[in-house]
Amino acid sequence: MRYRCSVCGQEYPLETRQWQCECGGLFEFESGIQFSDEVVQRGVPTLWRYRALLPVHEDRNVVSLGEGFTPLVRSEIYGHEVWFKSEFLGPTGSFKDRGATVLISVLKELGISTVVEDSSGNAAASIAAYCARAGIHARIFVPAHASPAKLAQIAIYGAELVPIEGPRENSAVAAQEAARDAYYASHNYNPLFVEGTKTFAYEIWEQLGCAPDNVVLPVGNGSLFMGAYIGFKDLAEAGLIDNMPRLFGVQAKACAPIYEAFVRGDEDARPVESGKTAAEGIHIARPVRGRVVLRAVGQTDGKMLAVDEAEIRSSQSDLAQQGLFVEPTSAVAVAALQRLAAVLEPGQMTVVGLTGSGLKSD
Amino acid sequence: MRYRCSVCGQEYPLETRQWQCECGGLFEFESGIQFSDEVVQRGVPTLWRYRALLPVHEDRNVVSLGEGFTPLVRSEIYGHEVWFKSEFLGPTGSFKDRGATVLISVLKELGISTVVEDSSGNAAASIAAYCARAGIHARIFVPAHASPAKLAQIAIYGAELVPIEGPRENSAVAAQEAARDAYYASHNYNPLFVEGTKTFAYEIWEQLGCAPDNVVLPVGNGSLFMGAYIGFKDLAEAGLIDNMPRLFGVQAKACAPIYEAFVRGDEDARPVESGKTAAEGIHIARPVRGRVVLRAVGQTDGKMLAVDEAEIRSSQSDLAQQGLFVEPTSAVAVAALQRLAAVLEPGQMTVVGLTGSGLKSD
């Protein structure tokens, strides 16, 4: 098991404290383990049913709060038959718990005692909760202007909050400076986080008994989107599915750097001047993973889409009136279904990821 | 399947619109089905694995959002080894989803198109969500002074809110008057609600592989407490467990009518003049089910306890620092563990129900 630079190919051991390659390239993770149907522990009602496929050696290092194997709820909306994957029922209220449980388990195994992270929302809450469970100290760099309710959730898990003035990016810079002395448990840079989110795809395959035709997800930095891509790729390589699902990534128009790059036909996203959006969880003006997200979209014959604020709000309400209350960030994926009328074909199976709880939003 | 009055024994058919006996007694439900290990569908990751034991005939009438089979998280707190049952991960953020999924499924099967209910919190949110999923209109009578955040969750599911001035009891009276023209889907009076919450006990038995020695739960009107009692009783009658667990019910000192009756040795609770408490979910000054809760406590050699506001707040924080963020109502059960030092014995298995999400509280 090792990291490999996605740009220059240089290898790093799992124990490294570097969080990106010396060349500036993003790390990828190579587990050397191939997916196999036989190793799935079907009696385990969490994502740790895929224990044999996750990079943790000893059972005592598994840091679990009962995450994963979230419900897949069949429904109809905007004329489409869809399956909603209720990721908002993670222990801290978002899909981020998939990444955090795996990342923090590995860090416990490596003997890490302090981590730093930057986020003002779901990722920070999740890292804080799993660090609390693991007995690891978490220092979270947050924008000073972040919503008090979201900061309160992070703080109650016992994490240390470090408010940073200025735009969101400043918190990342501060965390990266602090990472000289502490482990950077970044949900954006650390590929072990995506090792956790890939179980999203495994579960859909188990729950449907096959791969869906289409998967629709909100995209900010792509930590779930890339997990879905890698997970379905594992299943395809193991010969368990015939075709990759088409992956559709959705952004808020007010902040849509990856969508704009897709429209231009670019290979990577450029930073944007963002406007206001209710979809705070994907309000990422300088995405770190634009290149790999665009590649995954291209390789699966998918699309990037963007929806406006009115669509987000009305989709949040339309979904709640089916009994599913999600935050605006998740509603962007639901809103996109209206724009996919000509793309999704009748009889196709479409999965929509409901990424965060409505109880988190204002 | 029928209702039977718990006081005079009179029988009523499932189709009745009466919500209590003509004598004023509470209904009990007689399904005529005995628990059996063989009928559990272990591949179904929700409480509908107990489908054969629940009073719904046709699959198409099952109204599900993916509820139940909640995580059981092993931990240590205040010197006790405990298993936390994460009921706060229900689709609407509380254990109430167990009751709502079963009750609303039966009502769908009966062809009910409009229900009334009274609650200002978790029960109303849950009834509203399942009615939305079922296509049933829900009119919820709520105290005019209830917290705006809680009312917002009820309203977003599409329920009609009817604000009622005065104390909480006035909403119940208003709902009961409205029940002349609409079905009263009461989580307190309708025993089908408890038919759902009994699955809490079934799951613990499956997850532990046996019955625990002790179960500790917050108690307001006892809809989970009675479900736990009935569920374990089913298992005992089926010969699947040797002993009933001891059931410990916990109230907030500021509003503890059942605890006070227990201390006095009374058979039923008397209404109290309540003070302020953060534990809103169990702020019930006139409990409907005092008598049956006290009987269940007595028959399992259990106890009622009461904890103060400082204990509730510190237990909420202590639990969050283990990664589990619950509302103050749930923290009362955790707080009681400190008072059970001399009661719980080392090596015993103790389950604590974490009933509602911390994301719901202010």
- Which mean pLDDT values do the consecutive 10-residue runs of chain A (362 residues) have? 94 95 95 92 96 96 98 96 98 98 98 94 96 98 88 95 90 95 95 97 97 98 97 97 97 98 97 94 93 97 98 98 97 97 92 96 66
Give the predicted TM-score (pTM) of the model: 0.96
Are residues A320 and B46, on separate chains, in Cβ contact within 8 Å? Answer: no
Question: In this complex, is the C-beta atom of A357 within 8 Å of any C-beta atom belonging to chain B?
Answer: yes
A residues 12..41 contacting B (CB < 8 A) = none
Q: What is the pLDDT of residue A150?
A: 87
Q: From start to end of chain A, where are the E strands?
A: 2-5, 11-13, 27-30, 72-77, 80-86, 114-118, 137-143, 160-164, 183-184, 214-218, 246-252, 303-307, 350-354
Q: What is the pLDDT of residue B61?
A: 98
Query: What chain A residue is nearest to B361 in terms of C-alpha separation?
Result: A359
Which of A69, A75, A89, A312 has the most B C-beta neighbours within 10 Å, making it the best mutation to test the interface with B? A89
Read off the pLDDT of residues B80-130 as tens digits, 9 standing for 90 and up.
999 999 999 999 999 999 999 999 999 999 999 999 999 979 999 999 999
CA distance A332 to chain B (A): 17
Q: How confident is the model at residue B147 (pLDDT cuts 50, 70, 90)?
A: confident
Measured between alpha carbons, how far is residue B9 from residues B2, B21, B177, B188, B287 in Å? 12, 9, 25, 19, 21
Q: What is the pLDDT of residue A198?
A: 98
Return the closest-CA partner of residue A121 out of A312, A330, A360. Answer: A360
Q: Cα–Cα distance between B93 and B113 in angstroms, integer?
A: 25
- The SS3 of residue B137 is strand
Which positions in chain A touch B320 (Cβ < 8 Å)?
132, 156-158
- Give, for A22, the enclosing helix (H) or strand (E): none
Q: Is the dihedral of CA B310, B355, B82, A160 positive or negative?
A: negative
Q: Which two tokens stand for residue B232?
A: 């374990």
| Minimum-distance CB partner of A66 among B71, B93, B158 | B71
Buried b (16+ CB within 10 A) or exposed e, B146-179: beeebbebbbbbbbebbebeeebeebbebbbebb
Q: Cα–Cα distance between A160 and A148 in angstroms, integer?
A: 15
CA distance A279 to chain B (A): 17
Question: In this complex, is the C-beta atom of B130 within 8 Å of any C-beta atom belonging to chain A?
Answer: yes
| Minimum-distance CB partner of A46 among B46, B71, B360 | B71
CA distance B76 to chain A (A): 11
Question: In this complex, is the C-beta atom of A86 within 8 Å of any C-beta atom belonging to chain B?
Answer: yes
Q: What is the pLDDT of residue B161?
A: 96
Question: In this complex, is the C-beta atom of B122 within 8 Å of any C-beta atom belonging to chain A?
Answer: no
Question: In this complex, is the C-beta atom of A317 within 8 Å of any C-beta atom belonging to chain B?
Answer: yes
Which positions in chain A touch B321 (Cβ < 8 Å)?
132, 156-158
How large is the average pLDDT for residues B281-288?
93
Q: From start to end of B87-182, where are the E strands?
A: 114-118, 137-143, 160-164
Q: Cα–Cα distance between B25 and B11 in angstroms, integer?
A: 12
- The SS3 of residue B277 is coil
Query: What chain B residue is nearest to A131 in terms of C-alpha separation?
Result: B323
Q: Cα–Cα distance between A41 and B286 in angstroms, integer?
A: 47
- Following DSSP, what letter does each residue of B75-103 receive, concatenated? EEETTEEEEEEEGGGSTTSBTHHHHHHHH
Q: What is the pLDDT of residue A83?
A: 98
Q: How many CB atoms lie within 10 A of CB B76?
A: 9
How large is the average pLDDT for residues B54-69?
97
Q: Which residue has the tokens 């059970």?
A: B340
Number of helical H runs and strand E runs in chain B: 11, 13
Residue B234 in contact with residue B241, Cβ under 8 Å? no
Q: Between the CA atoms of A100, A103, A106 and A108, what dihedral angle is there, to the nearest 10 degrees?
A: -50
Q: What is the pLDDT of residue A319?
A: 98
Which positions in chain B touch A42 (Cβ < 8 Å)?
43
Q: Is the dihedral of CA A362, B135, A94, A59 positive or negative?
A: positive
Q: Cα–Cα distance between A95 and A132 in angstroms, integer?
A: 18
Which positions in chain B touch A358 (Cβ < 8 Å)?
153, 156
Q: From start to end of B253-318, where are the E strands?
A: 303-307
How large is the average pLDDT for residues B320-328?
97
Query: How much is the ipTM here?
Result: 0.95
Instruction: State the Cα angle at B124 between B61 and B127, rounded to 5°.
Output: 0
Instruction: State the Cα angle at A135 between A132 and A140, rounded to 5°.
Output: 50
How large is the average pLDDT for residues B28-42?
93
Q: Which residue has the tokens 């589990």?
A: B324
What is the distance, to the nearest Å, from the Cα of residue A250 to the centroid of all Cα atoms in its chain? 13
Please enumerate in sequence order all residues whose Cβ is within 8 A of that of A8, keeping only pairs 6 or more positions apart, or say none: A21, A23, A25
Q: How confident is the model at residue B169 (pLDDT cuts 50, 70, 90)?
A: confident
CA distance B265 to chain A (A): 39
Whether B362 shows a pLDDT value over 60: the answer reads no
Are residues B65 and A45, on separate chains, in Cβ contact within 8 Å? Answer: no
Question: In this complex, is the C-beta atom of B155 within 8 Å of any C-beta atom belonging to chain A?
Answer: no
Which residues face A307 on adjacent strands?
A: A252
| Minimum-distance CB partner of B321 among A45, A158, A322 | A158
Q: Cα–Cα distance between B210 and B212 in angstroms, integer?
A: 6
Measured between alpha carbons, how far is residue B83 from residues A104, A312, B71, B202 in Å? 21, 39, 9, 15
